[in-house]
Amino acid sequence: MRVLAMDTSTEAMSIALIEENDVKMELNTYTKIKHSKQLLPLIQAACRAINWSISSVEAIAVTRGPGSYTGLRIGVTTAKVLAKELRVPLYSVGSLEALAVNVKEDGPVFPFLNARRQTVFLAGYQKGEAWQTLLPVGHYTLEDWLDTIDEAFPTGPLYFVSPDASLFEAAIQEKWGERAKILAKEDSHLAAHRLLEAPFREEDADIFVPEYAKLAEAEEKWQASHPDQVAAHHGSYVERAD
């Protein structure tokens, strides 16, 4: 089966073309250029490089979040459109689960992404034939996630993986010292070819939406200033944006 896998959940972007579990082509970008301007050209360039027709793709895989609101919208929307046009299955993978794949050692793995204002999107996993969720995906303050992990795992090594690890490395090292094992930066990016190594699920392209794990900043401000309307409607009035 030919699979197009893509990740747009961070500033970096990754797409991979995979056939029968063999990575035929992977392209990664680490620029400030908007994903909306790069994603389709990158997919087309990858297909041309190995003489694939986009119509030969038999499945689409994409990260569903959490991560950048704008990035997730672009990736998920592109994946949905391609899956519907090509009439192929659409699969999603949690961004943090895809990150956790990078850690090969045994032990609790805590993938995280910077969510601004000293907060992170974080989860905890014990990997194996059947992954075990140790800490559910959530939006945590620095103090909360440090204390939560410390209480649940008082002994043994703790593995952390994140492209944003440098922002929190000092706090992690201060909390756990040598117990904390932080994956090197070059091994801590979301690579599209890793998506099929993580737990994935099939999605309905008509109703699939990203999993943001928190409100956008503009939405938080709006809801804070309109509590009566929020309570009445239980809904979102503000478009998510980075």
Tens-digit pLDDT profile for residues 72-127: 999 999 999 999 999 999 999 999 999 999 999 989 999 999 999 999 999 999 98
Mean pLDDT of the chain: 89
**pLDDT of res. 227:** 55
Using the 3D structure, point to which of 187, 202, 234 is the last residue of a domain. Answer: 187
Beta bridge partners of 5: 16, 61
Residue 7, classified by CB atoms within 10 Å of its CB into exposed (0-12), middle (13-18) or buried (19+), is: buried
Q: Both 88 and 172 in a single domain?
A: no
Q: Both 128 and 194 in a single domain?
A: no
Q: Both 42 and 162 in a single domain?
A: no
Calpha distance 223→45 (Å, rounded): 42
Who wins on pLDDT, 3 or 238?
A: 3
- The candidate with the shortest Cα–Cα distance to 191, out of 121, 115, 114, 95, is 95
**pLDDT of res. 130:** 80
Reduced DSSP (H G I as helix, E B as strand, rest coil) percent helix, strand, coil of the chain, to 5: 40, 30, 35
Q: Please state the rounded mean pLDDT for residues 217-239.
A: 47
Calpha distance 160→55 (Å, rounded): 39
Q: Both 177 and 196 in a single domain?
A: no
**pLDDT of res. 222:** 34
pLDDT over 60 at 13, yes or no = yes
Q: Both 183 and 169 in a single domain?
A: yes
Residue 240 included in any domain = no
**pLDDT of res. 46:** 97
**pLDDT of res. 225:** 53
**pLDDT of res. 234:** 47
Q: Which two tokens stand for residue 206?
A: 């008509």
Q: Both 90 and 155 in a single domain?
A: no
Residue 233 included in any domain = no
Least confident span in 19-33, 111-125, 153-167, 177-191 = 19-33
Q: Please state the rounded mean pLDDT for residues 4-13.
A: 95
Residue 122 included in any domain = yes
- Structural domain count, the chain: 2
Residue 230 included in any domain = no
Q: Both 9 and 56 in a single domain?
A: yes
Calpha distance 37→59 (Å, rounded): 23
pLDDT over 60 at 240, yes or no = no
Give percent of the chain above pLDDT 90.
Answer: 80
Residue 242 included in any domain = no
Map residue 110 onto helix, strand or coil: strand
Residue 161 included in any domain = yes
Give percent of the chain above pLDDT 70.
Answer: 87
**pLDDT of res. 36:** 84
pLDDT over 60 at 235, yes or no = no
Residue 129, classified by CB atoms within 10 Å of its CB into exposed (0-12), middle (13-18) or buried (19+), is: exposed
pLDDT tens by residue, 25-50: 999 998 766 888 889 999 999 999 99
pLDDT over 60 at 239, yes or no = no
Q: Both 114 and 153 in a single domain?
A: yes
Calpha distance 236→219 (Å, rounded): 7
Residue 154 included in any domain = yes
Query: Residue 67 belongs to what domain range?
Result: 2-94+190-217
Q: Both 194 and 89 in a single domain?
A: yes
- pTM of the predicted protein model: 0.86
Residue 228 included in any domain = no
Q: Both 89 and 195 in a single domain?
A: yes
Q: Both 209 and 181 in a single domain?
A: no
Calpha distance 173→241 (Å, rounded): 33
CATH of residue 30's domain is 3.30.420.40
Q: Both 13 and 88 in a single domain?
A: yes
